[in-house]
Structure 1
Amino acid sequence: MKISFLGAADSVTGSRHLVETGGARVLLDCGLFQGFKTLRERNWAPLPVAPDSIDAVVLSHAHLDHSGWLPRLVREGFRGPIHASPATRDLAEVLLLDSAHLQEEDARRANRGGWTRHAPALPLYTSADARRAIARIVPVATGRSVRIGEVEVSMSPAGHLLGAMALRLQAGGRSLVFSGDLGRADDLLMPPPQPLAQADVLLVESTYGNRRHPQDDVQARLGAIVRATIRRGGSVLLPSFAVGRAQALLLVLQRLKAAGEIPQELPIYLDSPMASTATALYQRHAKLLRIPKREAAGLCEGVTLVGKATESQRLTRSRWPSVIISASGMATGGRVLHHLKAMAPNPRHHIVFPGFQVAGSRGAHLVGGAREVKIHGEYVAVKAEVSHLEGFSGHADADGLMAWLRGFHAAPAHCFVVHGEPDAADTLRLRIQDELGWSVSVPEHRASVDV
């Protein structure tokens, strides 16, 4: 068995792990690199193997750092199936089309504004590329497995996100497990990840490998932020991932209103057509959630869904206190940038990032205390209050990762720690080595190993 770590080996994004076994070449995930420019530039580099030589892709879940390079892979010649859970297939359609639209829009804006060093600026991929990739996604029903040559692929619920799965490959009497992204035992929306008993080779994520989640009551803290902000006449901006995080925020805001902890009449806006569509998908797949169906059905009660761009522009000019949920979650693009430009210079407002911020992203700069931020080629002063609510994270923390690993009945022959910043990955490596006594390492980007 040969494994090539083509992404998420020295960073938390760009998940791409190529496994060659049983006469098949299988790519686990096909994600975008995000964050620092040096990482984003990897999105433009060709794979070290020909895309048409890959037999199949298997997706752990739909987040773009796991699925967002699929249109480029198909554009460069991949013609095999893309296997995913039914919910992942549905969410990936929404995410990939939106990503392509943003790529095209950013290129157009850069060309119009002249703030590009390329002539002309081009999108990484187009909406047509995204539709071709979506057409190749084959849903794998719950409890079913698929065969890729001599390789049998099965999936196990991982929490974290609607449809998210840990992946298991078996061939020639040996097995490889890839955790994908693991969810929390106490996640607001998703059940905890299911334990797995055995793996000869294990790839485990380490996003929070060096951290524990704060013990804060996120509902109480968000309620306090909203009350304090509206008392001074300001609004709360929640830059949010459209899939997963936006739905958790809607749930908490509904619970705050029901408990009388924020005013019933307080306007709440969901300014992300993709988040609106994703919320409908969460409601359609409500049986996968841990909340009652009635709560899932009521996520958008009393919430204004902002559809047209003109409506979003009017919202940026509003003087009334409100709560605005808008994508993207790390403020890397989308409508949230217009809200940031309008709200960041005003000290009455409060910008709250409810989740992990990749190093180098605009969100990470703001959470880190930046007093100005570059948006659409110009610098914007940051005088609004900025907070980070890590308690909304959908990732297992270091203790949660170790708890999942302890579910294995025997040590794998080797464990590779992936999908984490260098410090997080190495900290988790040391815990696995010292507490479990396993053979474990952190692979380098583009390293290939025979196991």
Structure 2
Amino acid sequence: MTRLTFHGAAETVTGSKYLLEADNAKVLIDCGLFQGYKQLRLRNWDPLPFAADSLDRIVLTHAHIDHTGYLPRIVKDGYHGPILCTPGTKRLTELLLLDSAENQERDAEYFNYKGLSKHKPALPLYDPQDARKAIKQLKAKPRSEWHQAAGPIWIRFHDAGHLLGSNMIEVEIRNQDPPLRLLFSGDVGRYDAPLYHDPHEPPRCDFLICESTYGNRDHPEGDVLDSLETAMNEAIERGGVIMMASFAVGRSQQLIYLLQVLMHDGRIPKIPIYLDSPMAIDATEIFRDFAEDHDLAEGRLNGPESVLNAPNVHMVRSSKQSKDLNKVKGPAVIIASSGMMTGGRILFHLRQRLPWPQNTLLAGGFMAAGTLGRRIQEGEKTVRIHKKDVPVNAHLASISGLSGHAGQSELLQWVSGLPKPKLVFLTHGEPESASVLSGLMRRRFGFRTLIPRMGESFELEEQT
């Protein structure tokens, strides 16, 4: 008997956790935090629907917090086994988990200091000590080789093209002949995107667990440099500060590089860039160490040291340095996390600068429902930041070409050559996105599709 249960990323984009059971073996694919709406975030505090110490292995698709951010908590709750991932994912996960723990601890301290929480005292979900324990359990495995996860469950990593170290996970359940084959897509990257290789062609499988983040829409056509040039010149003409809410890992490095290309080519004026993120600064070192994980064609990552350490790029590590940015006059760029504006230093810059029309908020990529980023994108005139109402008078601009997620047509391109699976589970997408992609896969390829609900469990032998 092989059973698959969806404990996260079901009818939502975050909290990826897929429990795979075969014989007596239990393997958890991804272990992410829920983000977005409050009712989703509160699920992070709910007891797990399975015992943490009952798991044999945890396997990661990539390092983003919605796929890894629950690891310190599950270790705290009793998981003591290995956490398998690629070398690049290991290094980035170490960085991201420590940052997540420090942010949660810092936010709890801030809420206690300001009396902003109904909990007395406000507590973090986990602390840096919990994160360090989880980090010790990370075990790096190379791509393209089979590894025994537990019992009859074997796994193999393939490049997903989404982030340094990111993977789809091929699974064989070897308690039958031929083995039952599953493929977990992880987050599928884009074709011809800066920095990353194209996603690997999906191997044949009986069951495909496929993300659907952009299942109901495509990214705008056109060159990302052209759209970034237009947005930047308009923002510079207004004279204010350009705020870029960015994921510290991947997106921040990409933004600095693209901005420097535009400045070098004379397409925008040379202005100061402030990278207000210790983690983004540290991540840059990791990116250099894993050059083979990047598409170096056309000089996309040539000379990252000179690009990122150019005189107009200022690395902002300390809290004091971050606060001093309040005095910066435009035109200038401030890049700070988090990418969906759910926490981190970007909130302090938004609170300071959103009320003023000369400033610009430039957002790139997907904003999950319920996040501050989504509310601002949807045109709310006032937003709540740190229990304070902040008017949104700054100009809003969006550069969706920066997204690391495959758009609808790219997802369809990715599966177009795949022999028909017995069933496709559509996950990691809001209901409309999953539903639209489901219809397209049925009509174009004759795939049988299913959108699982949170906590729903399937005996795979019965799905044939």
Aligned equivalents of 1:155, 1:407: Cα separation in 2:
19
1:424 is the counterpart of 2:424: no
3-state SS, counterpart of residue 302 of structure 2: helix
1:205 is the counterpart of 2:211: yes
**Cα distance, 1:372 vs structure 2:** 1.3
3-state SS, counterpart of residue 351 of structure 2: helix
What TM-score, normalized to structure 2? 0.95
**Cα distance, 1:188 vs structure 2:** 1.1
Q: Percent identity over the alignment?
A: 42
Read off the aligned partner of 1:287 and give its amino acid letter. E
Aligned to 1:397: 407
Aligned to 2:147: 146
Read off the aligned partner of 1:79 and give its amino acid letter. H
Aligned to 1:160: 162
Aligned to 1:229: 235
Residue from 246, 271, 275 that aligns with 2:280: 275
Aligned to 1:251: 257
Read off the aligned partner of 1:36 and give its amino acid letter. Y
Read off the aligned partner of 2:376 and give its amino acid letter. L
Stretch moving more, 147-156 or 48-57: 147-156
Aligned equivalents of 2:233, 2:41: Cα separation in 1:
38
Q: 2:190–2:410: 8 Å Cα contact kept in structure 1?
A: yes
Stretch moving more, 130-139 or 209-218: 209-218
User: What is the root-mean-square deviation of aligned Cα atoms in Å?
Assistant: 1.2
Q: 2:142–2:157: 8 Å Cα contact kept in structure 1?
A: no
Q: 2:81–2:137: 8 Å Cα contact kept in structure 1?
A: yes
Read off the aligned partner of 1:184 and give its amino acid letter. R
Residue from 415, 420, 425 that aligns with 1:411: 420
1:345 is the counterpart of 2:355: yes
Q: Per-residue displacement from partner, 1:356-375 (whole Å, max 9, x unpaired)? A: 10111001111111111111
Aligned equivalents of 2:117, 2:23: Cα separation in 1:
46
Aligned equivalents of 2:33, 2:40: Cα separation in 1:
9
Residue from 297, 304, 308 that aligns with 1:296: 304
Aligned to 2:4: 3
Aligned equivalents of 2:320, 2:445: Cα separation in 1:
56
Read off the aligned partner of 1:166 and give its amino acid letter. M
Equivalences for 1:35-50 in 2 at 5 Å?
35-50=36-51
Aligned equivalents of 1:446, 1:150: Cα separation in 2:
24
Structure 2's unaligned 5+ residue stretches are none
**Cα distance, 1:402 vs structure 2:** 1.0
Equivalences for 1:259-338 in 2 at 5 Å?
259-264=265-270, 266-291=271-296, 292=299, 294-302=302-310, 303-338=313-348
Q: 1:23–1:150: 8 Å Cα contact kept in structure 2?
A: no
Aligned equivalents of 1:297, 1:287: Cα separation in 2:
16
Q: Per-residue displacement from partner, 1:305-350 (whole Å, max 9, x unpaired)? A: 1111111111122124201111111111111111111110111010
Stretch moving more, 276-285 or 206-215: 276-285
Q: 1:347–1:385: 8 Å Cα contact kept in structure 2?
A: yes
**Cα distance, 1:294 vs structure 2:** 2.2
Residue from 366, 375, 398 that aligns with 2:376: 366
3-state SS, counterpart of residue 386 of structure 1: strand
Aligned to 1:169: 171
Stretch moving more, 355-364 or 14-23: 14-23
Q: Per-residue displacement from partner, 1:170-223 (whole Å, max 9, x unpaired)? A: 122111110000000021110110002310111000000001110133212222
Residue from 201, 204, 220 that aligns with 2:226: 220
**Cα distance, 1:149 vs structure 2:** 2.0
Q: 2:231–2:397: 8 Å Cα contact kept in structure 1?
A: no
Aligned equivalents of 2:171, 2:184: Cα separation in 1:
9
Q: 2:143–2:156: 8 Å Cα contact kept in structure 1?
A: no
Aligned to 1:96: 97
Aligned equivalents of 2:275, 2:417: Cα separation in 1:
39
Aligned equivalents of 1:395, 1:97: Cα separation in 2:
25
3-state SS, counterpart of residue 7 of structure 1: coil
Q: Per-residue displacement from partner, 1:251-294 (whole Å, max 9, x unpaired)? A: 21111011111223x11111101111111111111111112452
Stretch moving more, 145-154 or 6-15: 145-154
Q: 2:158–2:200: 8 Å Cα contact kept in structure 1?
A: yes
Aligned equivalents of 2:357, 2:222: Cα separation in 1:
25
Aligned to 1:59: 60
Aligned to 1:449: 458
Aligned to 1:70: 71
Aligned equivalents of 2:450, 2:305: Cα separation in 1:
44
Aligned equivalents of 1:18, 1:407: Cα separation in 2:
27
Q: 1:100–1:125: 8 Å Cα contact kept in structure 2?
A: yes
Give the 3 Å change call, closer, same or farther, for CA 301–220 of structure 1 in structure 2: farther
**Cα distance, 1:226 vs structure 2:** 2.0
Q: Per-residue displacement from partner, 1:380-427 (whole Å, max 9, x unpaired)? A: 11111012221110000111111111121x211111000000000111
Aligned equivalents of 1:85, 1:16: Cα separation in 2:
18
**Cα distance, 1:23 vs structure 2:** 3.2
Aligned equivalents of 1:355, 1:399: Cα separation in 2:
16
Number of positions where the alignment pairs a residue of Structure 1 with one of Structure 2: 449
Read off the aligned partner of 2:10 and give its amino acid letter. A
**Cα distance, 1:376 vs structure 2:** 1.2
Give the 3 Å change call, closer, same or farther, for CA 216–371 of structure 1 in structure 2: farther
Read off the aligned partner of 1:46 and give its amino acid letter. P
Read off the aligned partner of 1:158 and give its amino acid letter. A
Structure 1's unaligned 5+ residue stretches are none
